[in-house]
A and B are shown apart, each in its own frame.
Chain A
Amino acid sequence: MTRHLMTLAVLIGLVVLVVLGAEFAEVRLLSRIATNLCIMLVLVLGLQVFMGNSGILSFAHVGFMGIGAYTSAMLTIPVQMKGMALPDLYPVFAGLQMSPYITILIAGLVAALVAAIVSYPLMRLSDAAAVITSFALLVVLHTVMLHWSEVTNGPRTLFGIPRVTNLYLAAGAAALAIAAALAFKESRLGILLRTTRDDEVAAGALGAHVPNLRWIAFILSALFAGIGGALWGHFITSFSPKAFYLKETFVILGMLVIGGPGTVTGAVFGVLIVTIVFEGLRAIEGLVNQAQLFSEQVVGVTEITLALAMIAVLIFRPGGLVATREVGDLILRRMKLREKK
C-alpha cells in the first residue's frame, strides 16, 4: 500500500512542480506549455488505462477526445454566438448555455457512453483484427465529425468556445487522472485484466471474462479522453475535426510508448519528456524559420524526431522507459537496499 501512495505522491508532486515552475517563471508561454502538458497527461493516462492494462493497441482514443471537445463546445458556446459559430445547430440546443465546469464532466460521460455502445462487440477481437477495427472506428468518428455540420460546423473551424481551462484546472484534472489510473491499475479488475494481457487462456481459467474486463477499461479510457478533449477545447477555444485524427493519435501514442504503457509512471514520464523535447525542437524550428535560413518553412522535425524515438525505444527497450515498476516501488526498493548496507 505504501508503495502505491509513494507513487501517487511522487507523480502528483511532479505535476505540482510543473505548476510552480510555470507560475514563478511568469512567462506566459511557459504557462501555456504547462497547461497543455497537464491536458496531455489526462489524455495519455486515458490511453494507458486501456492499452497498458489490456495490452491492446487502440487508435480510436482521439476520436473520443473529439467527442468530448465537441460535446462541451456545443453546450457552452454563448447563445448570442451560436447563430454564427454553429448555424445548423438543432433548435433544441440553440438556446442552451451551460457552465463549462459541468459540461466538461458531461463531455466525459458522453464519450464514455459512446465508447460503451460501440466498443462492446469489439472487445472479443485480438491482435490485428482488434487494431484494424479500432483504426476503422477512428475513421468513422472522424468522418462523422467532418460532416455532421449541425453539431460540429463540418470541416470548418468551430470558434467561440469559452476559455475556462487554466493551469490550475488542468493540473487538478491531471492529478485526478493520475490517481484514477493508479487506482484502476491496482484494483482487482486492473490486476485481472493485466493477467489476460500476459496469458489470455490462464486468465479465462481464473474465471475472468476477458471481453468484459477490456470493455470496462475501454469505457474508463474514453471517459478520460472525453474530459481531456473538453479541457483542451476550452483551452484552445477554436478547432476543427482535423485536430482529432492521425497526427494527434501519433503524438499521444508516442508519449505513451516512449514512457512505457505498462505503468502510470511511464505515461507521466513520457508526457514530460516528449513535451520538453517537442517544445525545444519547436523553438529551434521557430528560430530557423524566423531567420529564414531556408527558402521554405521548416516543418515536421518534431514528428520525425518522435517517430525515430518511438522506433528506437521499441527496438531497444520494448516496454518503454518505465516498463514494469511504478516509481514508488523503485524508490522503496532503493531505500531498503540502502538500509541493508
Chain B
Amino acid sequence: MVGFLQFVIDVLSLGGAYALMALGLVIVYGILRLVNFAYGELIMVAGYSLYLLNGSALPWLVMAAVAVLMSMFMGIATDYVAFRPVRAKSVTAVLITSFAFSTLLQNAALLFISPRPRNIPLPDLFTTTIEIAGVVTPVRNLLTIATAVISLALFAWLMRRTVIGIAMRAAATHFTMARMLGVPANLIISSAFAISGLLAGIVALFWLGRIGSVVPGIGLEPLLVAFIATVIGGMRSLQGAVLGGFLLAFIDTGLNYTLPQDLLKFRDAFTFSLVILILLWRPEGLLKGPASGQRT
C-alpha cells in the first residue's frame, strides 16, 4: 500500500512536469507543423534568470515570476530569430535554424556565464519532506502536482473560453481561413510561442528545483522528454500531449521500479526506440490531432 502510494505520487509529479513540457512543444507544432529544437533552452533561460537574481532582496516568488517571464520572452524571440525569417522557405530550414539557435543560446551561457553549474535560489519548502500515510515524500513533488493541475486547468480555460485560444485551435487546422476571419497570423504565432515559453518556465522551476543548479546543457533532457511524450501522445493533439506526458512518466517510473540496474542505464535507448516504433506505426502519434494538415 505504502509502495503503491509512493508510486502514484512519483508518477503524478513527474507526469505533471512532463505533460506541461510536452504541451509547450505541441502548441507550436500544432499551428506551424514545425519542431522547435530550441525549446529546452527556455528552461535554461529561466534557470539563469534565477541564478542572476540570486542574492537579490526580492521574495522568491517574484524571482520565479521574473524567470518565467524571461522564458516567455525567449520563446517569442525564438520565433523572431529562428522561425519567422525562414518559415515560408522550407521545413528543413526551420529545423536547422532552431537547432542553431539552441546551440547559440547554450554557448552564450557558456561564454557569458560559465560552463560550470551555477546554484539557483530555492525556497525552503522545496527541500523539506512530508509524511503522508507512511510515505515520506518531498513537498516539492506535491507542489509539482498542484502546479501542474492548476496550469493545465488554466490552459484548458484559455484554449476553450478565450477568443485567442479558440483562434489558436482554429489556426491549427485552417491557418489561412483563420486569417480570413481577421485573426492576425503573427499574433497567433507569437501567442503560441509565449504560451510555450510560459509552460517551459513553470516546468523549469520544478525541474531545476530537483537539481538545485543550472548548466548550459540543462535543456537537452527536458527537450527529449517533450519529444517522447508528444510522439507517444500525438504530435498535434493537445490532450495527447498531456496524456503522453503522464504515460511517459508511468513508463519511466515503472522501469525505475522494476528494471535491474545494468539494464536501467539503457532506459533512454528503450524509450527512444519506442518513439521510433510509434512514429512508424502512426506518424501522427497515438491520438490523432485536428483533421487537416495544411502548412502556413
B residues neighboring A (CB under 8 Å): 29, 33-35, 81-82, 85-86, 89-93, 95-97, 99-101, 103-104, 106-108, 110-111, 114-115, 220, 224, 227, 231, 235, 265-266, 268-269, 272-273, 275-276, 279-280, 283
Contact = CB atoms under 8 A, between A and B. Distances in A.
A315 interface: yes
What is the interface of chain A mostly: helix, strand, loop, or mixed?
A: helix
A186 to B, nearest CB: 23
Contact of B276 (A131, A137, A246, A301): A137
A308 B110 CA distance: 16
A253 B268 CA distance: 24
A311 interface: yes
Interface of A: 55-57, 121-122, 124-125, 127-129, 131-133, 135-137, 139-140, 143-144, 146-147, 246-247, 250, 253-254, 257, 296-301, 303-304, 306-308, 310-311, 314-315, 318
A121 to B, nearest CB: 5
Contact of B224 (A139, A299, A318): A139
What is the interface of chain B mostly: helix, strand, loop, or mixed?
A: helix
A122 B115 CA distance: 36
A311 B103 CA distance: 11
Given A128-B33, A128-B35, A132-B35, A250 B100 contact: yes
Contacts of A300: 106-108, 110-111
Contacts of A133: 275-276, 279-280
A132 B107 contact: no
A56 B96 CA distance: 11
A139 B268 contact: yes
Contacts of B227: 132, 135-136
Nearest to A55: B92
Contact of B95 (A121, A131, A247): A131
16 contacts: A56-B92, A122-B280, A125-B279, A132-B275, A144-B266, A147-B266, A250-B103, A299-B107, A299-B110, A300-B108, A307-B100, A307-B101, A311-B85, A314-B85, A318-B90, A318-B93
